[in-house]
Chain A
Amino acid sequence: MNGERTTFYRDKQSAKLMGVCSGLEDYTGINAIWWRLAFVILTITSGIGIPIYFVLGFLASKKPAHLYVDRDEEKYWQRVRQSPKRTAREIRARFRDIDRRLAEVEHHYVSSNPRLSAEIERLR
């Protein structure tokens, strides 16, 4: 059901053990050190930290090497996973911004007519 950008992967490249915590960092955008700390605390307090870690480690597949083109795209998909609705709104805001800027250029050409003023300038 999930596409390849919204599934959870183990991140082997910045892994300490199996890459579960760095994968969680990649998925959520919360630094891996907090996930590692959470697993340690879970293990100390209730003992379920290690089983959860290994279940995640064996169920999740490794992160494909070229999933994202650049850092911006990685950030973008992190935001999508956090809240698709907010991301859609951000995209809409970007389109509105482009529309506004295009309208400004159009307005400039329509109102000032630079070609005509250039012709007049040449005739003087």
Chain B
Amino acid sequence: MEEAIVILMLFIGLPWLILHYMTKWKTAATITTDDEVLLEELYNLAKRLDERMDTVERLVAADNPEFKPARIVADRDIDNQPLRELDRLLAEKKGTLR
């Protein structure tokens, strides 16, 4: 009698358990290749727009001294590096105009 229970558990219970968790694991939320492409595009787009917005803000601030771009995260190094370059170019341009 006990042997039968052990065999039943081994050949029905164990595969059942494994298959149950396999289906659960397969239906769990994972990223597909499409999601990955989408996330990559969004990342690049956000980065590009951020850089463009920095440039526009600097250009507007150069033309109108009263315009001060308000930032939540002000003075980030990642923004400052290309902005310094832009400032330098603007200064050069003003120098040649006069």
A residues apposed to B, CB below 8 Å: 1-3, 5-6, 72-73, 76, 80, 84, 87-88, 91, 94-95, 97-98, 101-102, 104-105, 108-109, 112, 114
Q: Check: B70 CB closer than 8 A to any chain A CB.
A: yes
User: Could you say which of B30, B43, B72 contacts A1, with CB atoms under 8 Å apart?
Assistant: B30
Q: Is the interface of B mostly helix, strand, loop or mixed?
A: helix
Q: What 3 A-B pairs have minimum CB-CB distances, sorted nearest first?
A: A3-B36, A3-B33, A94-B46
Cβ–Cβ contact A98 & B36, under 8 A? no
Given contacts A91-B46, A94-B46, A105-B56, contact A6 B64 (CB under 8 A): no
Output the least CB separation between B29 and chain A (Å).
8
Residues of chain B lying within 8 A (CB to CB) of residue A80: 31, 36, 39
Q: A39 vs B85: C-alpha distance in the bound complex, in angstroms?
A: 48
Given contacts A95-B49, A101-B57, contact A76 B43 (CB under 8 A): yes
Q: A98 vs B53: C-alpha distance in the bound complex, in angstroms?
A: 7
Output the least CB separation between A15 and chain B (Å).
25
Residues of chain A lying within 8 A (CB to CB) of residue B42: 88, 91
List which B66-80 residues lie within 8 A (CB) of chain A: 66-67, 69-72, 78
Q: Is the interface of A mostly helix, strand, loop or mixed?
A: helix
User: Could you say which of B49, B67, B78 contacts A98, with CB atoms under 8 Å apart?
Assistant: B49
- Closest B residue to A80 by beta carbon equals B39
Q: A97 vs B79: C-alpha distance in the bound complex, in angstroms?
A: 14
Residues of chain A lying within 8 A (CB to CB) of residue B70: 104
Cβ–Cβ contact A112 & B32, under 8 A? no
Q: A3-B32, A84-B39, A87-B39 are in contact. List 9 more A-B contacts (CB 8 A).
A: A5-B40, A6-B31, A80-B39, A97-B50, A101-B53, A101-B57, A105-B57, A105-B60, A112-B64
Cβ–Cβ contact A91 & B43, under 8 A? yes
Identify 25 residue pairs between A and B in the complex whose beta-carbon atoms are under 8 Å apart, listed by A's number.
Answer: A1-B32, A3-B31, A73-B43, A76-B43, A80-B39, A84-B31, A84-B35, A87-B39, A88-B39, A91-B46, A94-B46, A94-B50, A95-B49, A97-B72, A98-B49, A98-B50, A101-B71, A102-B56, A104-B69, A105-B60, A108-B64, A109-B60, A112-B64, A114-B63, A114-B64
